[in-house]
Structure 1
């Protein structure tokens, strides 16, 4: 079950990161402005369609993170301890192939994807 209060906080974080007001955010994902207002106030719960519009419009938002807070935001962010540019460069020299992306799967069914 999704914790609506926590979901709302994560949605606000996405809006703040992208420097969008609620009305601009609504326009960007293609929903009515009142929908955002009702979700942010706790009056309405987000629909699956709403969640999919957010994750489709903002590629840095992982659906697992948005719904349950699991994973990372932004999802394409590569931490220094996870992967470094030298990891990509060295692999190209060793195999003659160039790494396009690395996907890490976790035991809870979530995953993170890292792209060069």
Structure 2
């Protein structure tokens, strides 16, 4: 978790290093001046977008330094050369385990297609019945909503 007070101190160090005031800094990284003011006052926390904009405009700012205070500012050439020699390996995607219990029901791939066909037939039958019944009445139904116990619903409009 980023400590906001420490983040603000590091942000002020960046402002001093580049001899910028808060308004100019906000303009340079493309954020509203008010958001910069709210950050410096401690009212708001920095967003990921805000931090990434700083990294894009000011390449001397180290990500770990601005977030956690670890590393150095401005970046050392030695740190960059070490990271180029020993790149961080990509994290391999691992599949998460699947736990089955007695109450777990497995649907096959085609059951949803069959259910959709049944719903289409029911809808068509419903619309035919509705159209024949409504011709005699002057009151027309705008829509019908069916609520299911599982929290879903269907809306039928004539």
Which position in structure 2 is the counterpart of 1:31?
A: 31
Which position in structure 1 is the counterpart of 2:72?
A: 72
Greater RCO (CA < 8 Å, at least 6 residues apart)? 1
Deviation of 1:71 after TM superposition, in Å, equals 0.4
Deviation of 1:43 after TM superposition, in Å, equals 0.5
Give, in whole Å, the separation in 2 of the partners of 1:11 and 1:31. 14
For structure 1, which runs of at least 5 residues remain unmatched after alignment?
83-100, 110-116
Regions of 4+ moved over 3 Å: none
Which position in structure 2 is the counterpart of 1:102?
A: 81
Give, in whole Å, the separation in 2 of the partners of 1:36 and 1:104. 31
For structure 2, which runs of at least 5 residues remain unmatched after alignment?
89-158
Deviation of 1:20 after TM superposition, in Å, equals 0.3
RMSD across aligned C-alpha pairs, in angstroms? Answer: 2.1
Give, in whole Å, the separation in 1 of the partners of 2:58 and 2:64. 14
Larger Rg: 2
Q: How many residues align?
A: 85
